[in-house]
Structure 1
Amino acid sequence: MSIDRNDIEQVIGQDVHGADGEKIGSVGQVYLDDQTGRPDWVTVKTGLFGTRSTFVPLEQAQRTEDGLRVPYTKDQVKDAPNIEDEGHLEPAEEERLFAHYGLAGGAAGTPAAGRAGEGTLDEDVVGHETSGPTTGDAMTRSEEQLHVGTERRETGRARLRKYVVTEEQQTTVPVSREEVRVEREPITDANRGDALDGPSISEEEHEVTLHEERPVVEKETVPVERVRLEKDTVTSEEQVGDTVRKERIETEGVDDVPDDRRA
């Protein structure tokens, strides 16, 4: 999307990328056209520590998710005319920039673009900012605030695995067996008839069957328990921190004011 006055505060400080996607620097200031108030130029901080500011036109610039994209290469921006960032572009300076970037100059009678907030859009304005849109007689002080959240990430996995082991078990079981015992009883009137039943003299055998118990082992598979994995959420507190920037406003050329009235 193109840049308009509503985008100024969001653009300042954003990364600037060239036509090939390479990062050139970051936005320092936004300059407005003195007549229309339309953003025409930005200064891009370049160099190792962002100490050098170079003017780049916004005519074909686009806002993107990662900042500001301009149709120029990093080398083209770095080779632009070295013009001091002093709050206003003179017509001659603007013409040098137009020539460098291959753009047509402004129409006759159109003044050079001024620093953001320096256009004369409202005749009743009694003050202006040098780094943002015109806001009347007040200056906006901003600061960075920390917004802390959490993100969910995988830390590991747990699984159940079933395997078979063999162990010896011993148990005691009672067993019984039959044994032969000889019993003798005298002849009495009660058993005389049984004793005399049969021949008086003969050969005879009498047999009994003996039994005994032996241990028998059988195995049966039975379920004994159910095992599952459950997750518990444990909450702890961790200290996080980062550096934040805050704007401070100081006065020059005015009498001291009470502390409770200072920004």
Structure 2
Amino acid sequence: MFEPEDIREWRGHDVVDPEGRKIGPLEAIYVDTRSDLPAFATVTVGMPTRRRLAFVPLTGATVGPGYLKVRYPRNLVRDSPSIDTDGVLPAEDEPAVFAHYELPYEAGAAGERRLARP
């Protein structure tokens, strides 16, 4: 596991799947607004002319020399909900990100967002 306060320093490092296959470079970290801990990362994926940011959970992620290893296969991450490289995740799209990875989603008691970029 990684230290949550250090993960922001990993921007640009490779994100790899459990088999060590490169998914793409780490772009951003999204924190769970309930715990204020890193919950998801965005990874740059796609062709050079059509880049996008795919979401991947950080639960169970580990770090190695120059990479962040997530516990999800490369194809699952590449098929995950994504945003444009200069886009933002709309609040109404948050449940789809969690559902893609079969993770439970509950908005806050007042309906507040679950994920935010610090």
TM bucket normalised to smaller: 0.7 to 0.9
Match of 2:83 in 1: 83
Match of 2:31 in 1: 32
Over the matched positions of the two proteins, sequence identity in percent amounts to 33
TM-score where L is the length of structure 2: 0.80
Match of 1:221 in 2: none
1:114 to 99, 113, 116: 116
Unmatched 5+ residue regions in structure 2?
none
Q: How many residues align?
A: 114
- 1:32-63 CA-partner distances (Å, limit 9, x unpaired): 22343211111100123382211111122222
1:141-156 alignment runs, 5 A limit: none
CA RMSD in angstroms comes to 2.3
- SS of 1:47's partner is strand
In structure 2, how many angstroms separate the alpha carbons of the residues matched to 1:93 and 1:107?
12
Structure 1 residues 96, 3: CA separation in 2 closer, same or farther (over 3 Å shift)? farther
Match of 1:56 in 2: 56
Deviation at 1:104, TM superposition (A): 1.8
Deviation at 1:88, TM superposition (A): 4.6
Match of 1:21 in 2: 20
In structure 1, how many angstroms separate the alpha carbons of the residues matched to 2:2 and 2:90?
22
In structure 2, how many angstroms separate the alpha carbons of the residues matched to 1:112 and 1:86?
17
Give the helix-richer structure, 1 or 2. 2
Higher RCO (C-alpha under 8 Å, 6+ residues apart): 2
TM-score where L is the length of structure 1: 0.39
Which structure would you say has the larger Rg? 1
Deviation at 1:106, TM superposition (A): 3.7
In structure 2, how many angstroms separate the alpha carbons of the residues matched to 1:38 and 1:81?
21
